[in-house]
């Protein structure tokens, strides 16, 4: 049970991290173009 919970947490963590990075990259690119 704990291992499954760890895997779910890891999956969500990567998903959130990826989205935050995408958001930061897009805003950074917008700032550079402005």
- Write down the pLDDT at residue 34: 59
Residue 32 within any structural domain of the chain: no
- The answer to whether the Cα torsion of 26, 11, 8, 10 is positive or negative is negative
What's 6-24 look like in SS3?
A: HHHHHHHHHHHHHHHHHHH
Residue 2 falls inside a structural domain: yes
Residue 28 CA from chain centroid, whole number: 16
* pLDDT value of residue 9: 92
Per-residue model confidence (pLDDT) at position 21: 95
pLDDT at position 2, please? 82
| pLDDT confidence of residue 24 | 93
> 2-34, pLDDT tens digit by residue?
888 899 999 999 999 999 999 999 988 877 765
Confidence (pLDDT) at 13:
93
Whether residue 5 is contained in a domain is answered as yes
Q: State which residues form the domain around 15.
A: 1-27
Domain total for the chain?
1
């Amino acid at each position: 049970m704990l291992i499954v919970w760890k895997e779910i947490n890891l999956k969500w963590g990567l998903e959130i991290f990826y989205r935050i990075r995408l958001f930061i990259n897009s805003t950074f690119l917008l700032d550079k173009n402005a």
